[in-house]
Structure formats: C-alpha cells, structure tokens
C-alpha cells in the first residue's frame, strides 16, 4: 500500500474548514515571520499561507531583511505575543547565522507556539502532558499512521535521525503511554553502529536524515512499514531518504516523496492553529 499523505491531509483540511466556518466572532490567525530571501523558506511560507486561506485561517505577514538584528526580531515576536487576534506564531527556519534560533524560538509565547518548538512544549511532550503543542512533522506522521490503519502499539519503530524538529519529538510521541502510541522506539544517528541490522529489525522504519535514497531494500524487513520524511533535491528532482522503487515492493505500506509526510506537516500546523484559537477563547 502506498500511503497517500496528500489525500489524508485534504480530509483533515476539509474538516478544519467546516469547523472554522461554524465559528462565531473573529477568525483564527497565524503570523508568519520570514527573514531574508532564502528561496525554499519563501516557498514554504507561501504554501502554508495558501493552505491557511483555503481553510479560513487568517495569516499575518512579517517579512524582515536578512540583516535584521536579533533584538529587532525579538521585538516583532513580543508584539505578536501581545496581539489578542494572533493565535499562532511561526518563525520560518533557518534564520541567518547572526541570529540565535533557539533564543528566538524561546521568545514565542508557548501558548501560540503552533510549530511546537518552544522548550516548554518540547518538555511537556517528553513528560506525556498533552496540554502543549506537538511539533508539526512528528505529529503529522503519527496521524498519518493512524489514518492509514497502522497501529504502532508494541511495534519496533526505528527512526533514523535525532534532530530537534523531527527525530527526537517523534520518538517522544511514539513512545507515549496512550492510544495511538505505545511503540518500542530506537533512534539512530550518525554515530550508530550496526545501523543496517537495526533498520532490518524494524516493524516501522522512519527515515528522517536528509540523505537521498539512503534506505536500500537490504535494510528493510519484508512486510515492514516505511515512512520517508526526507526532502532532498540532489539533481533538481525531489527525492526522499528512501530508495522508493526498490524498497516499495518489500513493504506492507510506504509513503512517497512528494505526497507523503510533507502535506501532513502543513495540515498539522493548521490543526494546531485552530487548537490554539479554541484554547484562547
Ligand atoms: P537534520 O537536522 O540535518 O538531522 C539529520 C539527522 O539525521 C541527524 O540526527 C543526523 O545524525 C542523522 N543522520 C544524517 N546522516 C546520517 C547517516 N548517514 N546515518 C545515520 N544518521 C544520519 O535534519 P532534519 O531537520 O531532521 O530533517 C531530516 C530530513 O527531513 C531532511 O531531508 C528535511 O528536509 C526533511 N524534513 C521534512 C519535513 C516534511 O515536512 N516532510 C519536515 C522537516 C524535515 P547526527 O545527529 O549524528 O548528526
């Protein structure tokens, strides 16, 4: 089975659209802070804003030059934190090198942190406290698995990658003691030994490393589920971290790139924005 992330995300967006159209008073609003002219960042923000518009979420644009100071950026965040009409604040990463990203992320009001990167929200996730926000890509992956009818309970999930935005929060989500989680999780990284062997023991293998077609068929158990988070453009063509053509025949289910995890990330951002709106009312 090829898991159609585009279709699942569309279903979620239709439900959000319906829920938002029945709201009374102001509309939910997400603020997007874009620093500089990094083409992929511009494209990501454009796509997120388009999806916001489609479901009825207002977006607020803060576009700052590449040379903006950390102080000025912090001021912008402070204004958005205080703005009653703003439910979500998203700072598009990466930021220019002279700005400390962690300091910026920590300045966002955790109650408006719809990307789920604030230490308060990361900490809550680790503690199994669901009152914060889960970061979009990991949360999107867990919803994708649920919607595809794949129960992770008791399964060996192997994640390649331990980044703060994908690997770590995904491991924390999947190992939670609750419905839709309860997996046995192994996280691999660049210092891991026996990587291939460990991957081969996975019931569910999640590649989130940013290395084109890294996962080969020899690394995958017959009948495993493979989730490809990677977004790479080695020769201008979009490819994931999995050698899809050769791996797919071995899998019981696999996500394609594009059309797998990517659309779920945006759908989860929209869901988090509505959640913030509902909590703040
Ligand atoms: P990242 O911050 O660069 O982290 C990559 C992780 O993979 C690191 O933990 C690294 O290990 C590990 N890794 C790299 N090469 C490895 C190797 N050969 N063997 C074992 N581990 C290896 O990347 P990221 O931000 O997590 O993103 C990962 C990929 O997902 C990228 O392609 C990115 O574009 C994509 N992504 C997609 C979405 C989406 O919505 N679809 C969202 C976010 C990211 P070390 O920690 O030891 O360096």
Ligand 1 atom nearest to CA at 261: 41
Q: Tens digit of pLDDT for each residue in 241-271? A: 999 999 999 999 999 999 999 999 999 999 9
pLDDT in tens, 196-215: 999 999 999 999 999 999 99
| Torsion over CA: 56, 58, 63, 68 (sign) | negative
Contacts of residue 245, Cβ cutoff 8 Å, sequence gap at least 6: none
Mean pLDDT of the chain: 97
Cα 155 to ligand 1 centre (Å): 22
DSSP H or E segment with residue 92? none
User: Distance between CA 43 and CA 49 in Å, rounded?
Assistant: 10
pLDDT at 281: 80
Residue nearest ligand 1's atom 5 by CA: 209
Which residue's entry shows tokens 């059309």? 259
Token digits of residue 78: 């402070």
Residue 203 Cα to ligand 1 midpoint, Å, equals 20
- If one residue of 105, 159, 229 were mutated to test the ligand 1 pocket, choosing by the most ligand atoms within 8 A of its CB, it would be 229
Q: What's residue 156's pLDDT?
A: 98
Ligand 1 centre distance from Cα of residue 241 (Å) = 9
Q: Which residues are catalytic?
A: 48, 92, 115
Cβ(9) to ligand 1 under 6 A? no
Contact present, 107 and 74 (Cβ < 8 Å)? yes
Q: H helices of 129-200, where?
A: 136-147, 167-174, 195-200
Question: Of all protein residues, whose CA lies closest to atom 35 belonging to ligand 1?
Answer: 230
Residue ranges for the chain with pLDDT beneath 70? none
Q: What is the structure's pLDDT at 236?
A: 87
Which helix (H) or strand (E) segment is 224 a member of?
none
- Report how far apart the first and last C-alpha atoms of the chain are (Å, whole number): 41
Peptide bond into 258 cis (omega under 30): yes
Q: What is the DSSP letter of 62?
A: E
Q: Is 187 in the pocket of ligand 1 (CB under 6 A)?
A: no
What size, in residues, is the chain? 281
**Cα 246 to Cα 111, 215, 225, 227, 242, distances in angstroms:** 44, 10, 14, 14, 9
Q: Quick check: CB of 101 below 6 Å from ligand 1?
A: no
239 Cα to the center of ligand 1, angstroms: 14
Give the chain's count of helices (H) and strands (E): 10, 8
> Does residue 261 line the site of ligand 1, with CB under 6 A?
yes
Does the C-beta of 265 come closer than 6 Å to ligand 1?
Answer: yes
Query: Which among 122, 110, 230, 231 has a CA at the least distance from the CA of 169?
Result: 122
CA of 225 to the centre of ligand 1 (A): 19
Between CA 79 and CA 69 the distance in angstroms is 16
Report the distance separating Cα 123 and Cα 169, nearest Å: 10
For residues 207 and 253, give the distance between their C-alpha atoms in angstroms, rounded to a whole number.
14
Nearest CA to ligand 1 atom 12: 161
User: Torsion-angle region of residue 7: left (phi > 0), alpha (psi -120 to 50) or beta?
Assistant: alpha
């Amino acid at each position: 089975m090829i898991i159609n992330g585009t279709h699942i995300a569309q279903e979620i967006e239709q439900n959000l659209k319906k829920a938002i159209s029945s709201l009374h008073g102001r509309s939910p609003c997400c603020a997007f802070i874009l620093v500089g002219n990094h083409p992929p960042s511009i494209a990501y923000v454009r796509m997120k804003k388009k999806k916001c518009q489609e479901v009825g979420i207002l977006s607020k644009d803060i576009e700052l030059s590449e040379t903006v100071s950390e102080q000025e950026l912090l001021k912008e965040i402070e204004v958005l934190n205080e703005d009653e009409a703003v439910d979500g604040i998203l700072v598009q990463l990466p930021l220019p090198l002279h700005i400390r990203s962690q300091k910026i992320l920590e300045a966002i009001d955790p109650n408006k942190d719809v990307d789920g990167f604030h230490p308060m929200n990361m900490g809550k996730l680790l503690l199994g406290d669901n009152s914060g926000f889960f970061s979009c890509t990991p949360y999107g992956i867990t919803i994708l698995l649920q919607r595809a009818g794949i129960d992770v309970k008791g399964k060996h999930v192997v994640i390649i990658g331990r980044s703060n935005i994908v690997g770590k929060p995904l491991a924390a989500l999947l190992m939670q003691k609750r419905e839709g989680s309860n997996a046995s999780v192994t996280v691999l990284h660049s210092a891991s030994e026996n990587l291939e062997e460990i991957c081969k023991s996975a019931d569910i293998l999640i590649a989130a490393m940013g290395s084109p077609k890294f996962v080969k068929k020899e690394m995958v158990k017959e009948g495993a589920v493979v989730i490809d988070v990677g977004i790479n453009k080695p020769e201008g063509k979009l490819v994931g971290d999995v050698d899809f053509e050769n791996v797919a025949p071995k899998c019981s289910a696999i996500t394609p790139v594009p059309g797998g995890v990517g659309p779920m990330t945006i759908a989860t951002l929209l869901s988090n924005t509505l959640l913030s709106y509902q909590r703040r009312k």
